Amino acid sequence: MKGSIFGRALLPIYTILALVFLLIPIVYTMVFSFNDSYKTNITWQGFTLRNWTNVCDAQGLCEAFGNSIIIGVVATLIATAIGTALAIALVRYKFRGRSLVSLLIFIPMATPEVVLGAGLAAQFFALGTAKGMLTVILAHTLFCLSFVVVTVKARVASLDASIEEAGRDLYASPSQVFWRITFPLLMPGIAAAALLSFALSFDDFIITYFNSGSMQTFPTFIYISAVRGVPAEANVIASAVFLLAIIGVTVSQVVSSARKRRLKARA
């Protein structure tokens, strides 16, 4: 009896401890975004809202954050467009070398980032390409492409082909079938792939570090600043990004729940 009670209590205790362990860095970041720091942000100096109202006071912070946003958006758009086309081709069409293409798509996912970053850096050096935002965008696009293909490919494989056949039976052209039937059905998978791609690009440090040259992104700025303590303004941006992500997920869940209730009510 005691053993069964202990067993039932063990899982909730383990879950709570795991959540606490995961949330400690986030809570620390948010708390120290209000720290009244001067040169370092390692010890608590007092409460202030100045960091939130003057985020760009830390030299180079806003520029690095803007670089991360630009790189993430551009790399996501390119990777999503190419990856969606590749996913459709790999699922819907048979062509010579399809297995080889699938293998090559998975290689960047299986390759350690340090190897991929160093290899791309050597390639850019051999081509005489100056390192900067362009090289980082190309590197991130290659890195994110595999994840986009895998995500969208699963969505393409789950589509009911009879829906598209019904559109063709109603004399819709191939382009009309794609844009009015296939593409809307693929949108959840494409959106998920794009969000994953942006998150991977925005968060990446290793590949960026090898291929960015003198340009800084938000992760590289954090790494360089970590020696003397990450500026409180950087904690502000990190906290804001986290809160925006939580708000986005919450809104998505609320909208999805409301839509399911409406569909259930109509039924």
- Report the pLDDT averaged over residues 255-264: 81
Q: Which domains does the chain have, with CATH numbers?
A: 1-53+232-267 (no CATH), 59-230 (1.10.3720.10)
End-to-end CA, the chain: 47
DSSP state of 35: B
- Over residues 23-60, the pLDDT tens digits come to 898 888 888 888 887 767 777 888 888 888 888 888 88
- Is 68 a residue whose pLDDT tops 90? yes
How far is residue 129's CA from residue 161's CA, in Å, rounded to a whole number?
Answer: 45
Report in angstroms the alpha-carbon separations of 232 from 23, 33, 65, 66, 223: 18, 5, 14, 18, 14
For a pLDDT cut of 70, what percent of the chain falls above it?
Answer: 96
Which one is predicted more confidently, 35 or 77? Answer: 77
- Is 2 a residue whose pLDDT tops 70? no
Task: Report the pLDDT value the prediction gives residue 137, as an integer from 0 to 100.
Answer: 95
- Over residues 236-245, the pLDDT tens digits come to 888 898 888 8
Cβ partners under 8 Å of residue 202, min gap 6: 68, 69, 71, 72, 218
Task: Report the pLDDT value the prediction gives residue 7, as an integer from 0 to 100.
Answer: 64
- Over residues 80-121, the pLDDT tens digits come to 999 999 999 888 888 888 888 888 888 888 888 899 999 999
Q: Quick one: pLDDT band at residue 66, thresholds 50, 70, 90?
A: very high
Instruction: Give residue 17's identity as a one-letter amino acid code.
Output: L
Instruction: Give residue 135's identity as a one-letter amino acid code.
Output: T
